[in-house]
Structure 1
Amino acid sequence: MTSHLTSIKTQHHSVIVVGGGQAGLSASYYLQQEGVDHLVLEKHSVTHTWRNQRWDAFSLVTPNWQCALPGYTYVDDFKGADPHGFMKKDEINAYLAGFVKAVNAPVREGVTVQRVVPRAIGGFEVHTSQGEFSADQVIVASGGYHTPIIPRLAERLPAGVHQLHSEQYRNPAALPAGNVLVVGSGQSGAQIAEDLHLAGRKVFLAVGDAPRCARFYRGKDVVDWLAEMGYYEIGVDTHPLREGVRDNTNHYVTGRDGGRDIDLRKFAVEGMELLGRLEGLQGTRMQFALNLAESLDSADAVYNRINGSIDNYIEQHGIEAPAGERYVPNWTPEQERSEVDLVAAGITSIIWCIGFSPDFTWVEAPVFNGRGHPGHQRGVTAQPGLYFLGLPWLYTWGSGRFSGVAKDARYLVDQISSDRAESLIQGKRAAAR
C-alpha cells in the first residue's frame, strides 16, 4: 500500500470520495491541490478492479499516449516502451502503481460504504462497515459496472455446464476441456472469443449489436485520426445523440500483439461458429435469433462509416496519407442456426459477456432514473453537494477512461471549490446580520 492511511478519529470531512480507482484518485489529486480536506473510502484496495477483474492476455484498446491521469501521464512519467503501443495487464498495473504513489491519497481501504444519506441541515451522513462519517460533499467515484448481468435462463442450464461472467474469465486453460459458448460480442466478448480461438479452442459466439472499428487506417491508428478530428473533445451536450450516446455499446477492436482489427467473419472462416442473439433455452437446446447477418452487416457499416469520416477529413485538409479502402465482407452466413444442443455441440463452458448493471441503491438521494442511473450535468446532480465521477460518457468519450477522467475530476473539484466559497460567503453574511 503506497497511500498513507488516515485515522477514523476525525469522523467529519469536507469531502468524502467513494471509490479508490482512477476516478477517485484523480479527484483526490485535485482536492489536494486545492487544499480541501477529504477522505477516499475504498471497498477493496486501490485500483482493485484492474488487478483482479481482467483476463491474463488483456491489453488496452486505446494507445498508451491517451493514458493521461492527473500528474502522471504515460508519456511523461511512466517509463513504458511505446506511446503508440497498448499496455498489457501487468504494464497497466505498473502504471497505476506509479499513479497511486504519486497521488498519495488519504485513503482507507477495506471500507464498504453502506449508505449515503443527505442531512436536513446540509451535507451527508456516510454509514460504512468501519463506522460513521459525515461530509459536506460526496463524490461517488465507484464506476458504473457493479452487478454482472447474467440472464435468468442460466439458472436452468445443465449442472455440468461451467458458467462464468467475463469478469471471472482468466485464460483458456482455466476452463474445462470441451467447446466454449461466448455470449455477447462487445469489447470483452469479442476479445475473449479471440483469446480462446487463438488457443485452439472451438468457440461458439452469440453475436450482439456491438459496432466495430478499424485499428489502423490510412497510415495510423484510428484513435489518432479521431483525436486529430476533435472527436474526443465532443461533450454529451453537443453530441448528435445527446445523452443517448451513454447507451451505445463500445466498438470492438483490440490492442493485442501491437493492435489489430477484430473481424468476426475471419474467425468464422477459421472455424469459429457465429450465432445470432441468444433468445432462449429448452432443456439442453439453446435458441438463437436469425439475425446474425444483420448484426455483422451493421457492425461493418459502422466500421466503413468511421473510415469514411477519416477519408473526408483527409480530403478536406489536403493531408497526404496512404490510400483508403472500403471493407468488403470475406464471409457471409449461408444458413443461420436457430438452435444449438449443448451436449451434441460439446459445449462445456459458457462465458456471459453481456455487461453490468449499476447498483447505487446505497445512495439515498432522489437523483436516479428508472434504470438506476444518476441524473447529472457533467457529474453535478440536483442534490446539493452530491457528485458522480468516472461514469461512461459522464461528459466525453474518455470520461470513464484513463484519457478523460482527469478533465472531469478537475471540473468537479472546481465546482466543489466554488460551492465551498459561496457557502463561506453566505455564512459570513448570516453572521453579520
Structure 2
Amino acid sequence: MKDFVIIGAAQAGLSMAYFLKQKQKDFLIIDREEDVGASWLNRWDSLKLFTPTEFNHLIGMPFPAPKGHYPDKYEVTNYFKQYAETFQFPIQLNTLAEHIEKKNDHFIIKTSQQDITCKQVIIATGPFHIPYTPTFHKNLSDTIYQVHSNYYKTPDQLQKGPTLVVGGGDSGFQILDEISKNTSETTYFSGSTDIRTLPQEILGKTLWWWFTITGFLSFSKKSWIGKKINQSKQPIIGTDVKTIIKRDNVKVVGHTLNAETERIKTATVELTDVKNIVWATGYKPNFKWINNLELTDDGYPKHNRGISTTKGLYFIGLPWLHTRGSATLGGIKKDATYLANKIL
C-alpha cells in the first residue's frame, strides 16, 4: 500500500511530488497521458504562456529560459519532463483514474490498468475536464466543421469558407486572432467585446511584475478584495482585442443563441454561410468519479486550501484554490508548500 497516490503529472502533481520525495514517502504519480505534461500539447499549436520565465519556476528547479521570455506549450512540456527526470519521481503513464472509493482508513483507486491502494490521495487533474459546447450544436448540419478549442490546433484544420469563433475569453480571442490573420475569408466573432484588456508589459515592466508588487495575485479568495477580483470579469491579457475586431474580415455578431441545420442565430444576425465553428466556450468540472465527494453548486470539491471534507483526500491546481495566483504556473508552489506542510 502506497503512502500517497498523486493523480496528474503536470505542474500541480509534480509540485506535490517534490515535497513527498523530500520526505521520502512511498508514492506514485499516475496520469492518463502518454508522457509527463502531455496535456499541454493538446492545446493549439501557437499557444504561449501569459507569464514570462521569471514567474514560471516550479519549486527546486528554475524554468530553463531567459528572463522576459514567454514560453510556448512545447517548452512547458519539456520543462515538466526535465523536472520529473531530475527528481526521479515514480510515474505510471497511460493510466486513467476511473473511480476512487474510501474503505476504512485507505483508498482504492480503480484505473484503466489496475487497482491501486493507498493511505492518502492528491488530485492534481486541473480544472479543464469536460469541454463544454451548447446543446444546440447537435442541431447543426454535418457539412459544418465543429471543433472545441481543446482540440483546435491550427487554421489548417478548417474547411474553406467563413468561420465562426464562439467565446470571448483569452482562448477565444487568441484563436480569432490566428484564424483572421491567416485567411481572407470572413471570420465571425460571437461573444462580448465589452471587456478589459491588459498588455503584457507596462512602463518597461511585465504585467506579472506589477501583479506581484501590488499583491494582486496574493489576495485570499475569502478576503473582501479577493471576492471582488473573483467575481469580476477577468481581463484579456496580451491580446489586442480592439485591433483584431477592426479587421476587415472580422465581423462581430454578438452571442450565439441557437442553431438549426446550416442556420445560426446570433444576437444581431442569422448566419447561413458558416463552414467552420470553433467553440472556445470553456469547460465543465468532472469529479463524479470520486465516491462520496462533497461538491459546491458549481461542481468543484468543497475544500479549505486543498484539504477536502474527506479525510486523506486533497486537491491542488484548482482555479482560485486559495488566490488568483493559484491558476498560474509560478503560483502553484505557494499552494503546494502550504498543503505539504499540512499533510506531511
Could you say which TM-score interval applies, normalised by the shorter chain? over 0.9
Partner of 1:150: 133
Report the 3-state secondary structure (helix = DSSP H, G, I; strand = E; otherwise coil) of the residue aligned with 1:23: helix
* Residue 36 (1) aligns with residue 41 (2): no
Distance 2:280 2:74 in 1: 22
Distance 2:233 2:4 in 1: 33
Distance 2:67 2:101 in 1: 44
Percentage of pairs with the same residue: 27
Question: Structure 1 93/41 Cα, relative in aligned 2: closer, same or farther at 3 Å?
Answer: closer
Which structure 2 residues correspond to residues 238-317 of structure 1 after superposition, within 5 A?
Answer: 238-242=223-227, 250-254=234-238, 261-264=239-242, 266-289=244-267
Q: Deviations over 1:20-40 (max 9, x none)?
A: 111111111111111221111
Distance 2:75 2:95 in 1: 27
Instruction: Tell me which of 64, 81, 85 is aligned to 2:53.
Output: 64
Unaligned runs of 5+ residues in structure 1 are 1-11, 255-260, 290-337, 418-433
- AA aligned to 1:13 is K
Cα offset, 1:18, TM superposition: 0.9
Partner of 1:230: 215
* Residue 15 (1) aligns with residue 4 (2): yes
Instruction: Tell me which of 214, 222, 225 is aligned to 2:199.
Output: 214
Q: CA RMSD in A?
A: 1.9
Which structure 2 residues correspond to residues 151-190 of structure 1 after superposition, within 5 A?
Answer: 151-190=134-173
TM-score w.r.t. length of structure 1: 0.74
Larger Rg, first or second structure (1 or 2)? 1
Q: Which has the higher helix share?
A: 1
Distance 1:30 1:411 in 2: 11
Partner of 2:95: 111
- AA aligned to 1:340 is E
Report the 3-state secondary structure (helix = DSSP H, G, I; strand = E; otherwise coil) of the residue aligned with 1:72: coil
Distance 1:406 1:131 in 2: 31
Whether the aligned pair in 1 keeps the contact of 2:52 and 2:67 (CA below 8 Å) is yes
Instruction: Tell me which of 41, 47, 59 is aligned to 2:37.
Output: 47
Whether the aligned pair in 1 keeps the contact of 2:177 and 2:244 (CA below 8 Å) is no
Which structure 2 residues correspond to residues 412-423 of structure 1 after superposition, within 5 A?
Answer: 412-417=339-344
Cα offset, 1:265, TM superposition: 5.2
- AA aligned to 1:230 is G
Whether the aligned pair in 2 keeps the contact of 1:246 and 1:392 (CA below 8 Å) is no
Partner of 2:188: 204
Report the 3-state secondary structure (helix = DSSP H, G, I; strand = E; otherwise coil) of the residue aligned with 2:28: strand
Q: Deviations over 1:147-188 (max 9, x none)?
A: 000111111111100000001111112211111100001011
Whether the aligned pair in 2 keeps the contact of 1:268 and 1:274 (CA below 8 Å) is no
Partner of 1:85: 69
How many residues are matched?
341
- AA aligned to 2:72 is K
Distance 2:102 2:134 in 1: 35
Instruction: Tell me which of 282, 290, 305 is aligned to 1:363.
Output: 290
Question: Structure 1 111/283 Cα, relative in aligned 2: closer, same or farther at 3 Å?
Answer: closer
TM-score w.r.t. length of structure 2: 0.93
Distance 1:107 1:268 in 2: 48
- AA aligned to 1:185 is G
Cα offset, 1:395, TM superposition: 1.1
Distance 2:229 2:108 in 1: 33
Whether the aligned pair in 2 keeps the contact of 1:71 and 1:102 (CA below 8 Å) is no
Report the 3-state secondary structure (helix = DSSP H, G, I; strand = E; otherwise coil) of the residue aligned with 2:303: coil
